[in-house]
Each structure stands twice: as structure tokens, then as C-alpha cells.
Structure 1
């Protein structure tokens, strides 16, 4: 069976939203001090790392793809202090990638993405590589968070890609 690049990107976009939603459900019962306390990750805490994910997903990368403006901003900036609002915003931010990928034309998929780094440098990436970076970047930080919450004594639902595929296979297809 041949799978197109667009189909692979669509899978990764679904995975991005699904894995983020599952991670946030696992974090929900954490007490505030564990959630906000230093835990040895690059962005200091679970909260700091989730903020970084929201920042990069909604304020940096999504505007680059959709013609919006990306401000030069520190990558550790806190853009949402409220834990519940942060979760809601992250779910919304990660979920919109599926529609974006679904609406990509073949020409857009074959084009380059031209953007400006937060340092001000102009850069170009092939569209599939740029999209894969968004999804891979989030996977990297979700992995940091799952390691941190495990070391803090909290559990996390499995986030591996096959679990999404198994879940989708279990849902009956509409006639």
C-alpha cells in the first residue's frame, strides 16, 4: 500500500492533537506545586514546557504557515498563566493542524515555506519538512513532560503513535 506525503502529514497532525490531549488529561490530577515546580526539563517545569508548546505552536509556527506575523519573542515566555486556560488553548492550537493539512493543495505541499526565525533570520524549508518539524518538536517536549511526571511519581497514558492508529482502527467507519 502506497501512502502519500499528505496522508503521512495528516496522520502526524491528528497525532499532534491526540497526544497533546492525552498528555493534558494525565497532567490534570497533578497538584499545583508539582505542576509548576522545577523538574529538570529545559523550560524548568511542566507548566513552563506546556507554555513553550503553546507559544511555538500558536504564536510562532502556525502564523508562519497561514501568512500571519510572528513577533520576535523569547522561547520561554509565559503566554498563559492559568492552567485550565493553558490546556484549552493547547488543545485548540494542536487540533487546528489537521484542518490545515487537509486543506493543503498539491502545489502548496510541493512549495517551500519562507519565514523569519525569532532571531530575525530569513529561512526556507520544504513544506513537508516544516510541518514535520512542528509535530516532531511537540513530540520532543511531550516526551520531556512524560519523563518529568513519571519521575515525580505520576503516571501518563501511552502517547505512542501506534496507540492512535489502534484507536482509529477500532472506530467503525461510516457507510
Structure 2
């Protein structure tokens, strides 16, 4: 279904796009980043935080942790300091890239199981589908952030994979 190479390309895409959004948001004030834009998580900052924490939770699930919420707390408000967020986001992107770089195609076989945050019944799903979800979820929310930043006058880079710089594609 998917390959380790697919994961490596999308991990680089993830890092490139997050860098684009963070760079664009650097030109805004904290008030602008936290302003309610009418999106699902309201603001660009809250959506960036959701994505940061959701990446951690899903990556831990893929790695075999059935209860990552026991050690990772999802928050729309933390980190609240922009400098801290930028540092943590870069570290998370490096973590995702390191994980993808270590994968073999064989690592993408099997299932992933976890207990949802709401305490409902254990979920079990194909590992490959969970990996696709990790990257798809990022793209979904980055699209929202891109739109919010653009509405605030910031200028993130294009989001199309063919626009990704050669240095980011590994080509």
C-alpha cells in the first residue's frame, strides 16, 4: 500500500510546510496568531498546537504505545510562548523525520492498537492506514492554518508537493 520511501517524502514535506507556516506566522503578533478566525480550533495558534500534540499522539500509537495520552497531554493553549512553540515544532518535525528515515517497508505491515482519549473501546487498525492518517491529518490542518495566515496578511509558501524544494524532496 505505502512504502518507507513514501513516509520519508511526506516527513520532509511535513517539515517544509511547517517551516513555511512558522516563518509566515513570525511576522504576526501574538494577538493575531491567537485571534479567532472561525476555524474549528478558532485560531492559527490553537490549530498549530493541536497539530503539534496530535502528531505526538499518533506517532506514539504507530510505535506501539496504546495509551500515549498517559504521558502526552493534548493542549490547544500550550505551548503559549511563540519561541517555545517554534523550538518544539522543529524538534517534533525532526522526530518524525528520524522515525521515517529508520523505516523499512516491512515496518509498515501489521496493525496498531490504542485506546482513544475519551476512554472508549480499544481501536485496532492497519499500521499503513495509521501512517497515512498521520500525514493526511497534518495536511488537513495545515490547510486551515495556511488560510488563516493568508487572511491575516502573511504569505506562507505554496503547499503543492511539486513545489517542494529539491533539498526537501531528497532528490
Per the alignment, in what secondary structure is the counterpart of residue 149 of structure 1?
helix
1:86-105 equivalences in 2 (<5 Å) = 86-105=85-104
Determine the C-alpha separation between the residues in 2 that align with 1:76 and 1:97: 19
1:44-83 equivalence runs, <5 A:
44-58=42-56, 60-68=57-65, 69-71=67-69, 77-83=76-82
Note if contact 2:16-2:168 (Cα within 8 Å) is conserved in structure 1.
no
Task: Quote the RMSD (CA, aligned, Å).
Answer: 2.5
Deviates more, 1:10-19 or 1:99-108: 99-108
Residue in 2 aligned with 1:37?
A: 35
5+ residue gaps, structure 1, are none
Task: Give the TM-score normalised by the residue count of structure 1.
Answer: 0.84
1:75 is displaced (CA, Å) by 5.5
5+ residue gaps, structure 2: none
Structure 1 stretches of 4+ moved >2 Å: 65-69, 72-79, 104-108, 166-171
Q: Go from structure 1 to structure 2 and tell me whether the alpha carbon gap of 1:113 and 1:169 turns closer, same or farther (over 3 Å shift).
A: closer
- 1:58-116 superposed Cα distances (whole Å, 9 cap, x missing partner): 2x112212344422788654231111111211121122112212222443211111122
Match of 1:152 in 2: 152
TM-score, normalised to structure 2's length? 0.85
Q: What residue in structure 2 maps to residue 133 of structure 1?
A: 133
The structure whose RCO (Cα within 8 Å, separation 6+) is larger is: 2
Instruction: Mark the CA change 1:74 to 1:85 in structure 2 (over 3 Å): closer, same or farther.
Output: closer
Structure 2 CA distance for partners of 1:9 and 1:63, relative to 1, 3 Å: same
State the aligned residue count.
168
